[in-house]
Amino acid sequence: MILLETNWNLVIPVAILAVIVLFLIFRMYKMRHLLTAANGPETSEHTIELSDKNFEAVISKGVSLVDFWAPWCAPCRIQGPIVNELANEIKGKANICKMDVDQNKKTAGKYGIRSIPTIMIYKNGKMVKQFVGVKTKGVLLKEIEAHL
């Protein structure tokens, strides 16, 4: 009978490596699922969907926050629910809008949108503030209230 000796100096690192690889595979699966899953509408009932046709008309009156985004953009998928919460909280004091840059290339090009998410705040048609990257609801709310 042959006895197999276990080399614990080799087994432990291999087991740790296997756990790390399984964890990374799980995280990649979850991220893929998060990015491709349709978790519901992209906008709330108080969020205005902008297009090349209605952009100028909407931002020309009062204060407007516009979230320039794309469905394939991971940071945009993080920013989207924050903008929706803001729209539900503001409810008519300001226009909270979203514009898909893939569907509306003319306006995105006109305003020089190079990175997304980009958030621009307009007052009576003139841009007063621009953010690039994910911003918290508190930061956006503070900036909107400063221009109301």
Active site residue ranges: 73, 76
Q: How far apart are the first and last CA of the chain?
A: 85
What lies within 8 Å, CB to CB, of 62 at 6+ separation is 94, 95, 123, 124
Decide if 131 contacts 113 (C-beta within 8 A): no
Q: CA 95: distance to chain centroid? A: 18
Q: 114 in the Ramachandran plot: left (φ > 0), alpha (ψ -120 to 50) or beta?
A: alpha
CA count, 13 A, side-chain hemisphere, 4 = 2
